[in-house]
A and B are shown apart, each in its own frame.
Chain A
Amino acid sequence: MNRALPETLHYLEYITGNVMGAPLKLQQQQQSQHSYLNETQFNVFSLPPQATQVQQLQDLINNDSEVRELVNQSMKSDPGLENGWPDFGKYPIPRTGFATTSSLEMDYSISRTCTSPPTVVVAERDSVLTDKMASTIGRERFRKRKADKAQNPKVVVAEDTRDKRIKGDAEEVESEVTEQNNNRETSADKSKENSMVSEVQKPDYIHVRARRGQATDSHSLAERVRREKISERMKYLQDLVPGCNKITGKAGMLDEIINYVQSLQRQVEFLSMKLAALNPRIELNMDNFFAKEMFPAFMGSFPTVGNSSEMGNSAFLQFNPMQQVVTCGLDMAINPPDMALRRTTSTSITITLQQVQPSSHWETDLQSLYNSEFLQGRSAAFPSQPFTGALEANNLKMEM
């Protein structure tokens, strides 16, 4: 999964966007990288304690602000009081600056907002409104669990009443605000801007940012992380399974995957039947395998092998070219087994064998080596002692 890592980073980075600027982004990258390396479901579900606390604090603030707005509408905001509400202006900032502030600072800012006079700054209320309304829209749009609904019934009710009053008043500012809100609602789930819900920095947490217009619940966050993982894997599968480029959506993709796996399994069955039919006895004729197909085939196309054969016949050097021989031969045979190529190689056997004449002794030595290998290999664990140094140094894990 080595190739997967930068891609997931890229994807996470794309999601998180560049709201906060460079230094935070680097931190996030490190953390997301860290989290991917330590990735378990457990990590995802260690989000809740921070997130619920945050959510509760936010609700507190919102409730307070709603009450104050109701009071304020009757009062008709006093411009003089706006100056006394700079602390409320700090409210979005902690939300934007969560990655840098601890929960202690959050408490501090809340207490300050509570004590300051109840004026409303349009911009701040605007942001609060968007988040509230957008979050309800988000809740409707996404299949939400019961937990979400259970947690925020009061907020929704209060918000509805407030919305009605807003629409009833028909003040210019408020109507503008609502219009903006409506516009933002419609573009809420399309836009990739982020409202900040980052958690306290801890290296083993997966840091997820809530997208704009989405609920910032711990459950939904975890679910979103899970969904993103799944979609990431589906992308890889899309690359792997042929003919899946046009299909979007999980159901269709799964169908294709199922069909492909079934067809591969059927191919294995068919090939084993074919092999059983071809051979009266079960054996893997390595002589035939290498001599007739591989050696001439790659002798012609891999001049490096010819060079190494010139170097001499020492036992040690035999094994390195042996590795190349085997892998190259396998590559030739295996990686795209072109029938036309096969025919040409079979017809050109005689020709290339003549060309190969000078190193024929090496060829026979290799054959005998391989024969002895396979005869020995029955009882003991599979030997390939000459191979072990060279081949098992290769990474046996699949490249992704």
Chain B
Amino acid sequence: MGARSSFKLEFLKKWALGLKICSSLAKDMSFLERKKAIKLSADVAMASARDGTTCWSRALIANASKQDDKKIIVRTMLGSEFKKITKSSSSGSFKPEKRVRSKKILRRSCAITRIRKTATKRVLACSIAKRLVKKRTQVLKGIVPGGESMDEVSLLEETLDYILSLQAQVDVMRGFANTQVLSNPK
């Protein structure tokens, strides 16, 4: 559990830094703005605690820095790592996906016509199962940041890592919220 607690520590430090930056940028923020700032700094902290080793972290940071107002925060948070991380996240694999998608549609329609002809129960069940799995991997790709440009194997790896980091993030945030609640009994 040493790696986990060190990850949490790293996350906490970076999150604190991010919150400081946010509060310094805008003195009085509305509730929603505050919530967004907290969430943003938490996400970026989580991603940078992974130090750009994983695909989802790079994609998360890249997404966060697309909007200008967030970009400043992200950049100041990360400092020198920002350039390194954004460089390594290249967006070169979007076109092949479109081609793949149209091919898949063709193949699926052919497969369906073929299967309907030779329709045994087992074959139907297999095709249904396959379709379910495909749909769900698509959904998963939408959820995990940067999941679009990944094949199944690496998608599962990234999901694993992402889940672990999310769990750590939730634990730290919950602990902090609890201390806040307990220290300010109003």
A274 to B177, Cβ gap below 8 A?
yes
Partner of A233 from the list B21, B37, B153, B179 (CB cut-off 8 Å) is B153
Which positions 358-400 of chain A face chain B at CB distance < 8 Å?
374, 377-378, 381-382, 384, 391, 394-400
Residues of B within 8 A of A346 (CB): 182
A284 to B183, Cβ gap below 8 A?
no
A254 to B182, Cβ gap below 8 A?
no
**How distant is the Cα of A400 from the Cα of B139 in the complex, in angstroms?**
25
Does A331 interact with chain B (Cβ within 8 Å)? yes
- B 1-33 to A, binary, CB cutoff 8 A, 1 in contact else 0: 111111111101111110111111000010110
Does A164 interact with chain B (Cβ within 8 Å)? no
Which positions 209-245 of chain A face chain B at CB distance < 8 Å?
226, 229-230, 233-234, 236-237, 240-241
Does B148 interact with chain A (Cβ within 8 Å)? no
**How distant is the Cα of A227 from the Cα of B173 in the complex, in angstroms?**
37
Which positions 117-163 of chain B face chain A at CB distance < 8 Å?
126, 129, 132-133, 136-137, 139-140, 143-144, 151-153, 156-157, 159-163
How far in angstroms is the closest Cβ of chain B from A284? 4
**How distant is the Cα of A212 from the Cα of B147 in the complex, in angstroms?**
36
How far in angstroms is the closest Cβ of chain A from B144? 7
The stretch from B64-72, B95-103, B164-172 touching chain A is B164-172
B144 to A279, Cβ gap below 8 A?
no
Query: Known: A334-B8, A382-B14. Contact between A240 and B164, CB under 8 A?
Result: yes
How far in angstroms is the closest Cβ of chain A from B84? 13
Query: Known: A271-B170, A378-B17, A397-B3. Contact between A282 and B23, CB under 8 A?
Result: yes
Q: Is the interface of B mostly helix, strand, loop or mixed?
A: helix
Q: Which of B10, B132, B172, B174 has the most CB of A within 10 A?
A: B174
**How distant is the Cα of A317 from the Cα of B25 in the complex, in angstroms?**
37
Does B184 interact with chain A (Cβ within 8 Å)? yes
B164 to A284, Cβ gap below 8 A?
no
**How distant is the Cα of A283 from the Cα of B152 in the complex, in angstroms?**
40
Partner of B23 from the list A250, A283, A331 (CB cut-off 8 Å) is A283
B140 to A258, Cβ gap below 8 A?
yes
How far in angstroms is the closest Cβ of chain B from A290? 9
**How distant is the Cα of A240 from the Cα of B159 in the complex, in angstroms?**
11
How far in angstroms is the closest Cβ of chain A from B106? 14
- A 260-272 to B, binary, CB cutoff 8 A, 1 in contact else 0: 1110110111011
Does B35 interact with chain A (Cβ within 8 Å)? yes
**How distant is the Cα of A3 from the Cα of B181 in the complex, in angstroms?**
38
Residues of A within 8 A of B49 (CB): 396
Bin chain B's interface residue count: 35 or more
Residues of B within 8 A of A394 (CB): 2-3, 6
Partner of B136 from the list A241, A258, A265, A399 (CB cut-off 8 Å) is A258
Residue of B nearest to A282 (CB): B23
Q: Which of B1, B49, B182 has the most CB of A within 10 A?
A: B182
Q: Give the A interface residue count (CB, 8 A).
A: 70
Residues of B within 8 A of A288 (CB): 179-180, 183
Partner of B176 from the list A269, A289, A327 (CB cut-off 8 Å) is A289
B3 to A261, Cβ gap below 8 A?
no
How far in angstroms is the closest Cβ of chain A from B28? 8
Partner of B159 from the list A237, A292, A334 (CB cut-off 8 Å) is A237
Residues of A within 8 A of B173 (CB): 268, 271-272, 275
Query: Known: A289-B179, A330-B5. Contact between A337 and B171, CB under 8 A?
Result: yes
Closest 4 CB pairs of A and B: A233-B156, A254-B136, A276-B34, A276-B35
Q: Can you report 23 residue pairs joining A to B where beta carbons are below 8 Å apart?
A: A241-B163, A257-B163, A261-B159, A261-B163, A262-B143, A271-B173, A274-B177, A275-B38, A276-B38, A281-B23, A282-B38, A286-B16, A330-B5, A330-B12, A330-B172, A337-B171, A337-B175, A342-B182, A346-B182, A378-B20, A395-B3, A398-B161, A399-B3
* B interface residues (Cβ-Cβ under 8 A, vs A): 1-10, 12-17, 19-24, 29, 31-32, 34-39, 42-43, 49, 51, 53, 79-80, 126, 129, 132-133, 136-137, 139-140, 143-144, 151-153, 156-157, 159-167, 169-184
